[in-house]
Homo-oligomer: A and B are copies of this chain.
């Protein structure tokens, strides 16, 4: 399934009780902090009438949004058309989570393992006045940003690199090497959208890249500095982490 959500009111994707290591029964609704995965598991379990595990490709952080998250689930209710499941589950879900499509997959399909590439967007509101009606959908930076310098720095990040400097410590991945396929910056009126496409990303990687590019845009250091940052493989050498509310998981390619 492909789904979208507004992350504002959720503590991210991951539900602690959906972890394989948790052996007990699911806790009653309202127990613990709300997550997107919890809402989905409860809605699918209600509609299909059997326990359902929902496995999402990206474990988005608290406050991060998704336009095209991909997840899989198993069911033996093969007689219900996917569109019927989609409508029923959407009816059970809160207003800020929406399943866009459900389609049958191969028996061995795995939303996490079979990911080939992903694209994220980061939205900045670059105007003196704050984004009144969309405060939870943008990062507000009122200062003038040098977009040309940001694009120069962005170009230096494209390609295969060790992104240790651009990842939160404890990301838990074996290799810190990732391939960024493209990194584009678009400006339209007060909106600046940074799009990042790659084969995978480390923990907080997009937000640290955006935080660093904004520092370049403010003139705090030159675009070439990102090369030194990559070489250093030391998190404090890169820029700050941008806040979560501007980040969107746009699509996942299989």
Contacts and interface: CB of A to CB of B under 8 A. Distances in A.
Interface size class of A (residues with CB under 8 A): 10 to 19
A130 B95 contact: yes
Contacts of A132: 4-6, 95-98
Interface in A3-55: 4-6
Q: Interface of chain A, helix or strand or loop or mixed?
A: mixed
A168 interface: no
Contacts of A129: 98, 100
B6 A96 contact: no
Contacts of A137: 133
A135 interface: yes
B100 A135 contact: no
A134 B6 CA distance: 9
Interface string A113-132: 00000000000000001101
A249 to B, nearest CB: 13
A224 B233 CA distance: 72
A207 interface: no
Nearest to A65: B133
A95 B137 CA distance: 13
A97 B132 CA distance: 7
Interface of A: 4-6, 65, 95-98, 100, 129-130, 132-135, 137
